[in-house]
Amino acid sequence: NIVDTSGVKWVKRALWAPAITKKDGKYFLFFGANDIQNNNEYGGIGVAVANNPAGPFNDYLGKPLIDKIINKAQPIDQFVFNDNGKYYIIYGGWGQCNIAVLNKDFTGFVPFENGETFRKITPEGYVEGPVMFKRKGKYYFMWSEGGWTGPDYRVAYAIGDSPTGTFKRINTILKQDATIATGAGHHSVINVPGTDDWYIVYHRRPLTETDGNHRVTCIDKLYFDADGNIQPVKITNEGVSPHKIK
Instruction: Please report the pLDDT score of residue 41 as a whole number.
Output: 98
Mean pLDDT of 218-246: 95
Instruction: Please report the pLDDT score of residue 184 as a whole number.
Output: 97
Per domain, the residue ranges of the chain are 1-122
| pLDDT per residue as tens digits for the range 107-137 | 999 999 999 999 999 999 999 999 999 999 9
Q: What residues have CB less than 8 Å from 31, skipping those under 6 apart?
A: 3, 8, 15, 16, 17, 18, 19, 45, 46, 47, 48, 78
| pLDDT per residue as tens digits for the range 41-86 | 999 999 999 999 999 999 999 999 999 999 999 999 999 999 999 9
Distances (CA, A) of 191 to 26, 77, 135, 198, 199: 21, 21, 10, 5, 6
**Topology of domain 1-122, per CATH?**
Tachylectin-2; Chain A (2.115.10)
| Among candidate residues 189, 200, 185, the one with its CA nearest the CA of residue 240 | 200
Q: Is the pLDDT of residue 246 over 80?
A: no
Mean pLDDT over all residues of the chain? Answer: 97
Tell me the pTM: 0.96
How sure is the predictor about 243, in pLDDT bands with cuts at 50, 70 and 90? confident
- Contact in structure between 78 and 69 (CB atoms under 8 Å): no
Q: 158 forms bridges with which residues in the sheet?
A: 141
